[in-house]
Amino acid sequence: MTRAFTDFNQIHFTMPRKQRKQKGKKPQIVTKKVSNAIKISPVRKIPGEFLGDKKAGKAIVVRLTAAGGLDHQFTIHRPVGITNLSGDEWVVSRTEEVSPLLSRVKDPSADMRNKQIIEFKMRACVKNTSYLKQKDGVYYYAADEKVSRKAHIAAARKACEKATNKLKGEGSNGPFPKFTDFLPEGLKQQEALIGVFLKRKDLLQEAEKKYPVTYRTTYVGRVGPSSQQSGNPLLKGCARPSDVFARLVQLLQDPSPLLAKDGAASAGST
Last residue of a domain, one of 194, 210, 226: 210
Last residue of a domain, one of 210, 235, 261: 210
- Whether 31 and 16 map to the same domain: the answer is yes
In the predicted model, is pLDDT for residue 8 greater than 50?
A: no
Last residue of a domain, one of 210, 238, 258: 210
Rounded mean pLDDT of 256-263? Answer: 70
- Whether 84 and 118 map to the same domain: the answer is no
Give the range of the structural domain holding residue 137, as residue numbers without chain letter.
Answer: 110-210
- Whether 16 and 80 map to the same domain: the answer is yes
Dist. CA 259–CA 90, nearest whole Å = 18
- The reported pTM is 0.66
Query: Tens of pLDDT along 195-207?
Result: 999 999 999 999 9
- Whether 145 and 199 map to the same domain: the answer is yes
Spell out a b/e string for 38-57, using b for 16 or more CB atoms within 10 Å of the CB, else e: eebebbeeeebebbebebbb
Q: Residue 1: inside a domain, yes or no?
A: no
Position 14 scores a pLDDT of: 46
In the predicted model, is pLDDT for residue 5 greater than 70?
A: no
Question: What is the number of domains present in the chain?
Answer: 2
- Whether 148 and 186 map to the same domain: the answer is yes
Q: Residue 25: inside a domain, yes or no?
A: yes
Instruction: Say what percent of the chain tops pLDDT 70.
Output: 75
Dist. CA 174–CA 168, nearest whole Å = 8
Query: Tens of pLDDT along 116-171?
Result: 999 999 999 999 999 999 999 999 999 999 999 999 999 999 999 999 999 999 99
- Whether 128 and 45 map to the same domain: the answer is no
| 44 vs 263: which has the higher pLDDT | 263
Query: Tens of pLDDT along 13-35?
Result: 444 454 445 555 554 444 444 44
